[in-house]
């Protein structure tokens, strides 16, 4: 007899071994019908897995992240089977789940026109209700089975030599896979193939370019349709498209992955920077600036040369190796070392809007979201051991205030020690417990992200949710015992002895460039008035009102309003349509009535037409800028 402890701590006793599916069936038919996979002693397992001893068991459905993963991974195998039926010569690479769907990489040429035929074949496979079977082979037999699939052969050869290799089979289709998967193809209810893209094998541009087919799947057609509607809305909000239309930024072939900000975009960037400076001054930070290029010895000492070398750009100056900084922290440490500090100086909070460069593979570059050159809104806090919790809480509060201003929901994840890390167990335990303690004291729910910390310390990551429900990782707080030790940082304590400070690394925006990309899509280009590059545009009905329009422009400009004027000899309807496409908050139409009354007619975002005085509009816009929120007339 053995005991199974369920998620709610209730216990079931069984006399003979049972599969997870059979256990789910004994709990309820509904649970068995909806089950996708399970956690057994916190290990991700198939419903076929047989339990024969005491364990904890959590049965997962599509409502759980890992349950969705098994469901969508199964859909990717159904897609691969359909492709092999239609295109037998195509070679299989890999087909994992993603956050919102799945993909499969193929060595073969496909286009969007091929997707309907693949979808139709997938429907046939689902209708066939093929049982999905798991089996294992020893290495040589696995290689023989996959002899016609070169990418699978390579994957097998890279596994440890004594490995038992796992496979899943559905009908005539067999794939190398660790699973887990659903029990039967008929369990996939609603799916859609969404796009086709190129992808290098192993993500390495030195390897062959494969074709990646993306898709998604759901248990209900209504949920699938809702998702597809969100995707269509996301296309309209694509920051690359809006960046061109609103003349915010461009990426040129002369500098791949390195954005050029146009005048409108630079205004937006400067507004964010001004806001950043204001809140950091109020929070007791001092701003510094450090060089972009620093010598190899510094990066070796910090550990970046050993742990991050492949992402760094290097150069030689006076026969010495130098690197363009991928991070600002070593420069901030050198600033700390310029003088001896007392405990009375701590916490010392140093902020830097530093330009950093990181080598990203060309295939991963994506507008402002994934770039090679960006401005990191870094800050580093040097403190004593007993100041850790209060400083972490202060940093969390500051970052929360930023995200609330822009209307973002967010959740937090605590990332723990990775395999490739510096330092000893005691330091990591102290650092991790300090972060946990601060989160608990702030009464914040958080998720543990095992093994995803920085190489020098654990971290708290902020994951934003935008207006379309998409998540973005932006803010981060990293607690570091390692670099202060490596750089021999010191302060004089109350006992007049030298002590080592502790260091926090943190960002709020993360990358200002990426944050701008997120804001463009979050607001669909309709920036609130305080952020809008142009807050108002003046549109005279005809040339005879140009002089009055120019006077209005001058007055608004003097009042500090970001205003534009359109003096072209075009029809007013055309001017209004064009200005609306630029998503300018206030359009000012000037005609005879306005000129004679010394007033202006203002068209607002919600197409209200209001007649008022110039100073009245100025005061309203300035109030919106000051309060950073929209105010109705």
- Catalytic machinery residues: 329, 358, 376, 378, 380, 459, 505
* Integer Cα distance of 460 and 223 in angstroms: 32
Structure tokens at 281: 């001054």
Inter-residue contact 388 to 500 (CB < 8 Å): no
> Alpha helices, DSSP H only, in 353-450?
388-405, 425-441
Partners of residue 322 on adjacent β-strands? 295, 315
**H-run or E-run covering 375:** strand 373-383
Find, among 591, 579, 578, the residue nearest to 552 by Cα: 591
Partners of residue 555 on adjacent β-strands? none
Task: Tell me the pairing of strands 373-383 and 446-449.
Answer: unpaired
The 8-class DSSP code of residue 130 comes to P
Task: Give the full edge-to-edge strand order of the sheet including 609-612.
Answer: 563-565, 536-540, 586-590, 600-603, 609-612
Compute the residue count for the chain. Answer: 633
Q: If DSSP codes are grouped into helix, strand and coil, which group holds residue 21?
A: helix
Inter-residue contact 251 to 291 (CB < 8 Å): no
Task: Give the full edge-to-edge strand order of the sheet including 190-200.
Answer: 91-92, 102-107, 209-218, 190-200
Q: Is the peptide bond before 180 cis (omega within 30 degrees of 0)?
A: yes
* Integer Cα distance of 548 and 529 in angstroms: 24
Find, among 224, 215, 230, the residue nearest to 119 by Cα: 215
For 14, 129, 250, 553, 613, the CA distances from 564, given in Å and listed in that order, are 77, 63, 22, 7, 18
* Integer Cα distance of 261 and 269 in angstroms: 9
* Integer Cα distance of 233 and 524 in angstroms: 9
Find, among 180, 183, 169, 188, the residue nearest to 39 by Cα: 180
* Integer Cα distance of 633 and 630 in angstroms: 10
* Integer Cα distance of 20 and 31 in angstroms: 11
* Integer Cα distance of 184 and 245 in angstroms: 48
- Rg of the chain over Cα atoms, rounded to whole angstroms, equals 29
Structure tokens at 399: 């970052």
N-terminal to C-terminal alpha carbon distance within the chain: 74
Inter-residue contact 333 to 482 (CB < 8 Å): no
Partners of residue 565 on adjacent β-strands? 538
């Amino acid at each position: 007899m053995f005991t199974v402890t369920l998620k709610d701590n209730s216990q079931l006793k069984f006399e003979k071994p049972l599969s997870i599916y059979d256990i789910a069936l004994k709990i309820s038919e509904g649970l068995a019908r909806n089950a996708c996979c399970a956690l057994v002693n916190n290990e991700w397992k198939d419903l076929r897995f047989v339990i024969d001893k005491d364990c904890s068991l959590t049965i997962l459905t599509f409502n759980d992240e890992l349950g969705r993963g098994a469901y969508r991974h199964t859909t990717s195998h159904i897609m691969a089977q359909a492709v092999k039926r239609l295109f037998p010569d195509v070679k299989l690479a890999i087909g994992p789940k993603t956050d919102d769907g799945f993909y499969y990489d193929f060595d073969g040429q496909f286009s969007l026109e091929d997707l309907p035929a693949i979808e139709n074949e997938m429907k046939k496979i689902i209708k066939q209700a093929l049982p999905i079977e798991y089996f294992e082979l020893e290495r040589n037999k696995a290689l023989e089975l996959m002899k016609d699939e070169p990418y699978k052969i390579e994957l097998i050869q890279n596994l440890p030599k004594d490995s038992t290799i796992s496979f899943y089979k559905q009908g005539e289709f067999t794939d190398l896979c660790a699973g887990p998967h659903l029990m039967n193809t008929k369990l996939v209810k609603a799916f859609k193939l969404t796009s086709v893209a190129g992808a290098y094998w192993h993500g390495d541009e030195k390897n062959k370019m494969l074709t990646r087919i993306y898709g998604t799947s759901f248990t209900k057609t209504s949920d699938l349709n809702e998702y597809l509607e969100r995707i269509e809305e996301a296309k309209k909000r694509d920051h690359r498209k809006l960046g061109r239309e609103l003349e915010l930024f461009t990426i040129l072939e002369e500098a791949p992955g390195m954005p050029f900000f146009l005048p409108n975009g630079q205004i937006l960037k400067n507004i964010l920077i001004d806001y950043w400076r204001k809140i950091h001054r109020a929070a007791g930070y001092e701003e510094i600036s450090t060089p972009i290029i620093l010598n190899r010895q510094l990066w070796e000492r910090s550990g970046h040369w050993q742990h991050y070398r492949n992402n760094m750009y290097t150069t030689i100056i006076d026969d010495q190796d130098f690197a363009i900084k991928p991070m600002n922290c070593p420069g901030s440490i050198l600033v700390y070392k310029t003088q001896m500090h007392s405990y009375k100086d701590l916490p010392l909070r140093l902020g830097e809007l530093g330009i950093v460069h990181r080598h990203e593979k060309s295939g991963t570059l994506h507008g402002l979201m994934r770039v090679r050159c960006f401005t990191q809104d870094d800050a580093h806090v040097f403190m004593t051991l007993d100041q850790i919790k209060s400083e972490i809480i202060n940093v969390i509060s500051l970052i929360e205030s930023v995200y609330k201003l822009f209307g973002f929901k967010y959740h937090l994840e605590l990332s723990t020690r990775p395999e490739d890390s510096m330092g000893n167990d005691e330091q990591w335990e102290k650092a991790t417990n300090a972060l946990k303690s601060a989160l608990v004291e702030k009464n914040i729910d958080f998720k543990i992200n095992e093994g995803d910390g920085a190489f020098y310390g654990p971290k708290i990551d902020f994951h934003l949710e935008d207006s379309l429900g998409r998540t973005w990782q932006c803010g981060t707080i990293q607690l570091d015992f390692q670099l202060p030790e490596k750089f021999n940082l010191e302060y004089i304590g109350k006992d007049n002895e030298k002590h080592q400070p502790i260091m926090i690394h943190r960002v709020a925006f993360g990358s200002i460039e990426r944050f701008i990309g997120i804001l463009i899509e979050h607001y669909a280009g309709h920036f609130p008035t305080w952020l809008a590059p142009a807050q108002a545009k003046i549109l005279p009905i005809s040339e005879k009102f140009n002089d009055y329009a120019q006077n209005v422009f001058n007055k608004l400009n003097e009042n500090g309003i970001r205003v534009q004027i359109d003096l072209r000899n075009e029809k007013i309807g055309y001017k209004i349509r064009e200005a609306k496409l630029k998503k300018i908050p206030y359009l000012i139409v000037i005609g005879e009535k306005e000129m004679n009354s010394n007033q202006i007619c203002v068209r607002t975002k919600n197409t209200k037409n209001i007649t008022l005085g110039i100073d009245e509009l100025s005061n309203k816009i300035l109030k919106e800028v000051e309060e950073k929120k929209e105010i109705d007339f």
